[in-house]
Structure 1
């Protein structure tokens, strides 16, 4: 009898570990998240959903983790990334237009390429001639932008001030 119990426990443990091929263990929600975010960002995404909580986590190749809320509506699962997700392409294009409108067209660089932001977060971008642009997320999720063309002023503005 003891041998049967041991055998059953071993089989249960092997079954719980699943397959070495992750595509067989992927849920429809995880596959949907992976495909949608891969199409949006142009990079491989691997998501993992947690059974006991209505959340998932999507991991990008550079290690950035995006928390995802999942809701069941009837037979359908709906999900969305928690917070605002922006790409450096979006920020750079906007900032290039802003500095051009100010009569100072120049190259712009923002990093990392994909970023999750929440209210109060600030992104610093670098202008080719030494200035900087700053994006801040407002409480309503919109972004405010500040452009500082002078390098010395931009560096001073970059310093974090603690209250």
Structure 2
């Protein structure tokens, strides 16, 4: 059974702190912090996990995971430089109201649980800066601080979640 990382991007692989110091990169469509991508690579290396994108960024790719925007191309290349690929995406359960109000946290938990029903795994972790309001998800979530993004401590917590034995 594979380890799974459900990956959000904003607030995980970038942060408000990073954004403030990297306006030029952002203006060039480089929306991810390469040091955070490197930390994610450490997590993947140590756990052998597959990455499932559950971020709104999943809409920046076609069905074959080819990037549709320059930012998505930069992201996928940054991942490839750390020997990572996106293995899949969660289903889209948003409604027009959710998209207009930008309250994706209302459906993210259901999207993850729907994916898991179709692809059962006991060893999974969610990397997201939002509270996903679901007790099952909460026990598997590493909630990053959107001010700083993914940290060494977050990676260690994720490794603990992925390697704990479920009875």
What TM-score do the two structures reach when normalised by structure 1? 0.20
**Highest relative contact order (Cα 8 Å, sep 6+), 1 or 2?**
2
Q: Which has the larger radius of gyration?
A: 1
Q: Which has the higher strand share?
A: 1
Q: Which has the higher helix share?
A: 2
What TM-score do the two structures reach when normalised by structure 2? 0.20
